[in-house]
């Protein structure tokens, strides 16, 4: 077939998938081609705009390295990450709600003793975080691992900041037989996502601010349970209702309250894990 028109081209591209022997890939690529073509038709994309899009995606890839993930950031600010999260973790199960992984996780944080300080003397308001890891019925889970990471008070994660050690404000904690965990840190701050790359430029061009409300990241895992990727957000933060990556859920907002003895702040949270499917 030749002489394709806007009316015939889409189905011709889809038809070329007829020999694809991976049914899921075939379904995904069929949907991608149909929606991509529909998008191009809907906005009546010009050639200059098409090329600007190509350059934008090229720059997004070129901004990535072993630690920086500009494509995850792009997915986050366009709401795609939270759409995938909602579709995959949307069924109420009694488990703690999930939210985005974000672009700043690195594996391999050291396992630390309970009550260790992940801030290692970094400036900030001393804060104690504690609670339990439970199953969906409220039974404590022993041996659950909490992989924790957050920014310093300058708004930067360790891998963004040459002044911080690689695993500063990161650590892994293991629950005891009572399901309890505890660690010390500094109060997280709201921060802008990186604005020195293509994602920052497109946010600015769209008239959007780049800020995230203060939070601590967690990946909570235990054998026999679904791994939970989530945050705890600081109540009262001015960006809770306009998070640039759309990740805030009410059940994940906690009070960072003064301890009363002048030693800083404390926040408590019990995580609940769903059984493995
Ligand atoms: Fe974050």
Q: Where are the domains of the chain?
A: 1-45, 74-273
pLDDT per position as a tens digit, 119-150:
988 899 999 999 999 999 999 999 999 999 99
Give percent above pLDDT 90 in the chain: 94
Structure confidence at residue 16 (pLDDT): 97
Tokens of 150: 């957050």
User: According to CATH, what is the number of the domain 74-273?
Assistant: 2.60.130.10
- CB-CB contact of 162 with 122 (8 Å): no
pLDDT per position as a tens digit, 20-62:
999 999 999 999 999 999 999 999 999 999 999 999 999 999 9
Rounded distance from Cα 215 to ligand 1 centre (Å): 6
Residues with CB under 5 Å of ion ligand 1 are 102
Terminal Cα distance for the chain, rounded: 47
Whether the per-residue pLDDT at 90 is higher than 80: the answer is no
Whether the per-residue pLDDT at 277 is higher than 90: the answer is no
Task: Please provide residue 117's backbone torsions phi and psi, each rounded to the nearest 5 degrees.
Answer: -100, 115
Exposed (0-12), middle (13-18) or buried (19+): which is 276, by Cβ within 10 Å? exposed
Predicted confidence band of residue 75 (pLDDT cuts 50, 70, 90): very high
- CB-CB contact of 254 with 224 (8 Å): no
Structure confidence at residue 93 (pLDDT): 79
The mean predicted confidence, pLDDT, of the chain is: 96
Q: Which residues of 246-273 are buried (b: 16+ CB within 10 A; e: fewer)?
A: bbbeeebbbebeeeeeeebbbbebebbb
Structure confidence at residue 227 (pLDDT): 96
pTM for the structure as a whole = 0.92
Rounded distance from Cα 151 to ligand 1 centre (Å): 7
Exposed (0-12), middle (13-18) or buried (19+): which is 51, by Cβ within 10 Å? exposed
Tokens of 80: 């795609």
Q: Are strands 170-174 and 228-234 parallel, antiparallel or unpaired?
A: unpaired
Rounded distance from Cα 224 to ligand 1 centre (Å): 27
pLDDT per position as a tens digit, 195-222:
999 999 999 999 999 999 999 999 999 9
Mean pLDDT, rounded, for 62-74: 95
Predicted confidence band of residue 92 (pLDDT cuts 50, 70, 90): low
Rounded distance from Cα 16 to ligand 1 centre (Å): 41
Give percent above pLDDT 70 in the chain: 99
Structure confidence at residue 123 (pLDDT): 92
Rounded distance from Cα 136 to ligand 1 centre (Å): 26
Rounded distance from Cα 141 to ligand 1 centre (Å): 26
Q: Is the pLDDT higher at 1 or at 55?
A: 55
Whether the per-residue pLDDT at 160 is higher than 80: the answer is yes
Alpha carbons 92 and 218: distance in angstroms, whole number: 20
Predicted confidence band of residue 263 (pLDDT cuts 50, 70, 90): confident
């Amino acid at each position: 077939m030749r002489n394709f028109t806007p009316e015939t081209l889409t189905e011709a591209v889809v038809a070329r998938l007829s020999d694809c022997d991976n049914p899921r890939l075939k379904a995904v690529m069929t949907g991608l081609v149909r929606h991509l073509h529909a998008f191009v038709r809907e906005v009546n994309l010009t050639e200059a705009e098409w090329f600007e899009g190509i350059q934008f995606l090229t720059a997004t890839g070129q901004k990535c390295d072993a630690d920086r993930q500009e494509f995850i950031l792009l997915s986050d600010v366009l709401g795609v990450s939270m759409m995938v999260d909602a579709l995959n973790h949307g069924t109420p199960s009694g488990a703690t709600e999930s939210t985005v992984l974000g672009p700043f996780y690195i594996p391999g944080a050291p396992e630390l003793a309970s009550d260790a300080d992940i801030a290692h003397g970094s400036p900030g308001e001393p804060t104690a975080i504690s609670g339990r890891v439970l199953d969906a019925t409220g039974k404590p889970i022993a041996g659950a691992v909490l992989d924790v990471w957050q920014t310093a008070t300058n708004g930067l994660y360790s891998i963004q900041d040459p002044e911080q050690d690689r695993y500063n404000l990161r650590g892994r904690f293991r629950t005891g037989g009572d399901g309890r965990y505890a660690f010390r840190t500094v109060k997280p701050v709201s921060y802008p996502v990186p604005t020195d790359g293509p994602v920052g430029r497109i946010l600015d061009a769209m008239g959007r601010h780049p800020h995230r409300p203060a939070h601590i990241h967690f990946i909570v895992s235990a054998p026999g349970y679904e791994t939970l990727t989530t945050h705890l957000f600081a109540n009262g933060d001015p960006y809770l209702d306009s998070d640039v990556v759309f990740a805030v859920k009410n059940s994940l907002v906690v009070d960072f309250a003064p301890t009363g003895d002048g030693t800083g702040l404390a926040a408590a949270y019990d995580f609940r894990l769903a059984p493995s499917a």
